[in-house]
Amino acid sequence: MRVAIIGQQDFGKAVMEAFLARGDTVAGVFVAPEKAGAKPDPLKLAAQEKGLPLFQFPSYRKAEAQDALRQLKVDLGIMAYVLLFAPQEFVNIPKHGTIQYHPSLLPKYRGPSSINWPIIRGDTRTGLTIFRPTDGLDEGPVILQKEVDIGPDETLGDVYFNKLFPLGVQAMLEAADLVVAGKHKEMVQDESQASYEGWCREAEARINWHNHVDFIYNLIRGCNPAPGAWTTLGGKKLQIFDARKSVYRRFGDVSGKIGEVTQITDTGFKVSAQGGQIEVMRVKPEEGKKVSAAEFVKAAGITVGTMLGT
């Protein structure tokens, strides 16, 4: 099979290497240009190391990008983590068109933060979809889907790196084989089940200690490692990563005010919320690196009664 890899970052690199490892021809690699001062993209570096034709067009709408893909004469386009818009004039160039990876069970959780939101909302299942890209965001017909569980304590990092990443690489190979062999089926997405979710960024990741402890815990899990759920301490931003929750069973268990540090533990500190407590175990202060919460307690002088979020 002769393919073009259109992608970015470690996932794009892994997909490219998977096709090469089984003997397919990667005729060219399309990578979005890096922003000024940014590190070189891992997919770009891997393509250069292997001596593969590399293209970094600022837009796939331009004739120069489309001409470059056309000249490669590939069987299939493989879109693996693509943030640049790819119009139909581009994706339809390969002999068998193009397939794209998306880390949710489309049509649910269309959008750029589709791994964060299922965890934040407390879902117990998610998955991935290989589909045909159209001009609508994540709206094209589905070729293949795989489901995975979301454990009650799993973070975004756990779900992506341990499940959706490796399973997604294999799904791309499987879908490519089906499409090139003409054995695939394309299922139109059910719009009645569709949802669009925008970015989960700093504003969305802010902790409101007045929310229920379940909501807060899910937010921390769904933002770990990025963008990092956060609160404030003494007016400065404090990101919270690893954490545990405990639920109040009776009124007599309620301790402290909302947002108050109620206990210093061997691994960090506990903060009161509606319905329970969050035990914070790893943090990143505004002016520092990630450290264990136990280290941070000593460095920041946190004591029982310290208030967060004020």
List, in order, residues 6 or more apart from 72 with CB less than 8 Å away. Answer: 2, 4, 27, 28, 53
Q: Which helix (H) or strand (E) holds 212?
A: none
Q: Specify the pLDDT at position 310.
A: 81
Place of tokens 């268990």: 253
Distance CA 213, CA 27 (A): 51
Give the amino acid at 27.
A
Given this model, what pLDDT does residue 40 score? 92
Q: How far apart are CA 15 and CA 76, in angstroms?
A: 14
pLDDT along the chain (310 residues), means of 10: 97 98 98 91 97 97 97 98 95 98 98 97 98 97 98 98 98 98 97 96 98 98 98 97 97 95 97 98 96 96 95
Nearest-CA neighbor of 43 among 16, 77, 24? 16
3-state secondary structure 132-199: CCCCCCCCCCEEEEEEEECCCCCCHHHHHHHHHHHHHHHHHHHHHHHHHCCCCCCECCCHHHCCECCC
Beta bridge partners of 240: 229, 283
Burial of 99 by CB count in 10 Å (0-12 exposed, 13-18 middle, 19+ buried)? buried
Give the per-residue pLDDT at 59.
Answer: 97
Report how far Cα 236 is from the mean position of its chain's Cα atoms.
Answer: 27
pLDDT for the residue 36: 86
What does the DSSP assignment read for 21-73? Answer: HTT-EEEEEEEPPPPTTPPPPHHHHHHHHTT--EE--S-SSSHHHHHHHHHH-
Residue 86 DSSP one-character state: -
In the DSSP assignment, the letter for residue 78 is: E
**Total-model pTM:** 0.95
